[in-house]
């Protein structure tokens, strides 16, 4: 007796491959699927990231090995509208986006969940290192057991209506255990290296942006307005950046504190100038009711930084402010601030 039909989102990597295998053995009816968003004309030599044409071939081989049907779903228009266009516009506006957040909230756990329901599936499963906990009326998302791989940071935008539709079969595992399972299943992805690149960029971010945003050089100034260098285009810089700047006095340690696209300026200062104790977030999403939000939470302002205690203020349905109880370096507009209560994901928003 099947536990239900699951659409397993397969990226061609080891985590999603093991996800499909575990679901099959747990008694689910599993359908493998990959979302296609690469263009018809691709640069073969550089398209080696997850969800690429080569990865699609490997995902199909994994599905065949496991005896699962596999479909390639055309998501090019959805991806262009929800991921690529906002990505470019954020850089144009002097902010630093994280496209993985929008991919999860707008594509995987919105469009794909709806597609799965159209196909008669009860769930969508991914290889994220996130734990789903069913404690009451609504499932909770908790940090994965492997602290080096936890991916809850990218899932704060998940629509609440989708929470009960999503499964994370590897969330309780550590990465070495996932690879060992892949070996036991005989999967061709068992030893596959992890991709650290942005999946839709076939070259470097700088080259990608150069093709889409005209570069306009301008002044690098200090906090007093003195010109201290020259930049090559505001889209090539981010808050907290130290290297890669043309400064007239290169021996001085300077960090990017702010980017002003209206004046076409990059503003620099000391490392201390680049720390913050407050922030404001908009475009927020909560995974709990507003009245359930504790006043003191843990906040994480970047994927690779630890969360810190913070106090929530000015909370509305679309925005909130935070008083960070520990100063944070390079709090960057466009990046996400994610809220936790212990290991539980509460929601988050885009830093403005």
Active site members? 103, 199
Counting other chains too, the contacts that 250-255 makes at CB distance below 8 Å and 24 or more residues apart are 252/228, 254/222, 254/228, 255/330
How many C-beta atoms surround the C-beta of residue 205 within 10 A? 14
CA 135 remoteness from chain centre: 26
CA 66 remoteness from chain centre: 28
Phi, psi of 282, rounded to the nearest 5 degrees: -130, 175
Q: How far is residue 143's CA from residue 130's CA, in Å, rounded to a whole number?
A: 5
How many C-beta atoms surround the C-beta of residue 15 within 10 A? 27
Are the C-beta atoms of 260 and 94 separated by less than 8 Å? yes
Q: How far is residue 257's CA from residue 272's CA, in Å, rounded to a whole number?
A: 10
Give the three-state DSSP class for 71.
strand
Counting other chains too, the contacts that 320-327 makes at CB distance below 8 Å and 24 or more residues apart are 320/280, 320/281, 320/284, 320/349, 321/278, 321/279, 321/280, 321/281, 322/278, 322/279, 322/280, 322/281, 323/277, 323/278, 324/276, 324/277, 324/278, 324/279, 324/299, 327/275, 327/276, 327/277
Burial 103-115 (b: 16+ CB within 10 A, else e): bbbbbbbbbbbeb
């Amino acid at each position: 007796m099947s536990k239900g039909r699951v659409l397993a989102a397969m990226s061609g990597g080891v985590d999603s491959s093991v996800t499909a295998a575990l679901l099959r053995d747990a008694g689910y009816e599993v359908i493998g699927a990959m979302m296609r968003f690469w263009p018809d004309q691709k640069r073969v030599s550089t398209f080696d990231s997850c969800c690429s044409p080569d990865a699609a071939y490997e995902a199909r081989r994994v599905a065949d090995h496991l005896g699962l049907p596999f479909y390639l779903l055309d998501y090019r228009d959805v991806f262009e509208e929800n991921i690529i266009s906002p990505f470019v516009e954020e850089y144009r506006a002097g902010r630093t986006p994280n496209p993985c957040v929008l991919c999860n909230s707008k594509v995987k756990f919105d469009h794909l969940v709806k597609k799965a329901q159209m196909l008669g599936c009860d769930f969508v499963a991914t290889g994220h290192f996130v734990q789903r906990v069913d404690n009451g009326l609504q499932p909770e998302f908790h940090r994965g057991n492997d602290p080096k791989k936890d991916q809850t940071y990218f899932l704060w935008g998940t629509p609440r209506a989708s929470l009960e539709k999503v499964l994370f079969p590897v969330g309780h595992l550590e990465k070495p255990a996932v690879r060992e399972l892949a070996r036991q299943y005989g999967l061709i992805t068992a030893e596959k290296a992890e991709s650290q690149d942005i999946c839709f960029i076939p070259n470097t971010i700088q080259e990608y942006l150069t093709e889409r945003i005209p570069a306009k050089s301008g002044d690098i100034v200090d906090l007093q307005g003195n010109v201290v260098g020259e930049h090559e285009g505001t889209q090539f810089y981010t808050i907290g950046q130290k290297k890669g700047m043309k400064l007239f006095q290169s021996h001085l340690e300077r960090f990017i504190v702010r980017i002003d696209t209206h004046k076409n300026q990059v503003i620099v200062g000391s490392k201390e100038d680049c720390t913050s104790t407050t922030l404001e977030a908009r475009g927020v999403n909560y995974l709990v009711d507003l009245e359930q939000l504790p006043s003191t939470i843990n906040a994480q302002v970047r994927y690779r930084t630890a969360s810190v205690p913070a106090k929530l203020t000015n909370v509305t349905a679309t925005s909130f402010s935070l008083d960070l109880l520990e100063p944070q370096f390079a709090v960057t507009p466009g990046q996400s601030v994610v809220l936790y209560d212990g290991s539980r994901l509460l929601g988050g928003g885009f830093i403005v």
